[in-house]
Amino acid sequence: MSETRNPTEVTLDRLGPLHYEATNSRGGTLPIGTGQTDEFTPVELMMAAIAGCSAIDVDMLTHRRAEPDVFTTTITADRVKDESGNRLDAIDVTFTIRFPEGEDGDRARRILERSVQDSHDRLCTVSRTVEAGTPVTMGLSED
């Protein structure tokens, strides 16, 4: 399979001490902080990104067959601080999805487990990036 690249960018502006706003290329904004207020922390955002990415995958594959009565995705992880630094471990994504009774719901239920597996194995960019251990570079601009 040939490689396709699609650059994406998010900017982060400091609003005040330890308070920031992320802006995507479409103009959407999201407040970020340290957890002292209701703002999401960077770790919570990463967890939300994993859960959100997988939820979108599963929803895209199943909702064409039936609209779910219940669709909740929960992600948990252990925060670890050790000699190698800070990280998350034991990341677990759990779906609670129920479809209505009937033929359409049966069709959605038949592909549900495969949809979750496909999201994990090949579709969810966020969890696949984390599991692949993609390098991150950091530097300073000339500005």
Q: Is 54 exposed, middle or buried (0-12, 13-18, 19+ CB in 10 A)?
A: buried
* pTM of the complete model: 0.91
Instruction: Give the tokens for residue 129.
Output: 């990036």
Domain boundaries along the sequence of the chain: 9-40, 41-131
Band (5; pLDDT cuts 50, 70, 90) = confident
Write the CB contacts of 19 (distance below 8 Å, at least 6 apart in sequence): 31, 32, 33, 37, 39
For range 79-101, the mean pLDDT:
97
Q: Which amino acid is at 51?
A: A
- Please say if the pLDDT value at position 123 is more than 90: yes
pLDDT of 1 reads 72
Structure tokens of 93?
A: 């994504």
Q: Which CATH number fits the domain 41-131, given the four candidates 2.40.10.480, 3.30.300.20, 3.40.1160.10, 3.40.50.300?
A: 3.30.300.20
